[in-house]
Chains A and B, each alone.
Chain A
Amino acid sequence: DTGVSQNPRHKITKRGQNVTFRCDPISEHNRLYWYRQTLGQGPEFLTYFQNEAQLEKSRLLSDRFSAERPKGSFSTLEIQRTEQGDSAMYLCASSSTGGKDTQYFGPGTRLTVL
């Protein structure tokens, strides 16, 4: 069990560019979550997958955001036409329906949009 990993850890981009983040959950976990955390705030839920199905999406997830989990393992979160307001820490978590469903969080990807 190597824990939840996220790549890259840091991303600096110019406004208008597209960015993609990757999350590798704990291997036996079938649930995967994306959160966004801005400075001084708690994480806010973005979206949730069970296996490869995206079952919940927050209203925070605008049309410029898309998430996938094609094989029910790793997930990607893409932001198109980035805006300065997208600057935040993007956190991924995974859990297993077989256990207590406790969410284990990755280290996050910090995005800075210039």
Chain B
Amino acid sequence: KQEVTQIPAALSVPEGENLVLNCSFTDSAIYNLQWFRQDPGKGLTSLLLIQSSQREQTSGRLNASLDKSSGRSTLYIAASQPGDSATYLCAVRYLMNTGFQKLVFGTGTRLLVSP
């Protein structure tokens, strides 16, 4: 069964700290992996997408890494700000025999950055 786990479930840090969110997946035959941000009661915003052949992707203060063989990804947030407070979701994409790309989500990490 394809499962995605995120640790920790919740994280509270003071403004300015660097932090790491973890994602692990049971089936390493992934097509790619995507990190999303979700604000309370809202939809999902894509942050970073890493192809299965890549090791990392960077966007501003965000850096995502991928170790496919060990089934792990991390999202690193540098110099955290109160505006970073949200739930961060890891989603693994698998390519099915039909050509369909199935997204399997983790349960998310709720981040609170205090001023």
**Which residue numbers of A lie inside 8 Å of B, CB to CB?**
4, 6, 33, 40-45, 48, 55-56, 89, 91, 93, 100-108, 110
Contacts and interface: CB of A to CB of B under 8 A. Distances in A.
Contact of A105 (B44, B107, B108): B44
Given A45-B103, A102-B49, A91 B98 contact: no
B46 A102 contact: yes
Contact of A91 (B43, B45, B96, B101): B43
Given A41-B107, A42-B106, A55 B98 contact: yes
A104 B103 CA distance: 12
A56 B98 contact: yes
A42 B89 contact: yes
Contacts of A101: 101
Contacts of B98: 55-56
A97 B105 CA distance: 21
4 smallest beta-carbon distances between A and B, as pairs: A42-B105, A105-B44, A105-B43, A107-B43
A66 B103 CA distance: 20
Nearest to A89: B41
Interface in B1-50: 4, 34, 36, 41-46, 49
Contact of B42 (A4, A103, A107): A107
B46 A104 contact: yes
B49 to A, nearest CB: 6
Contacts of B41: 89, 108, 110
B24 to A, nearest CB: 14
A69 to B, nearest CB: 15
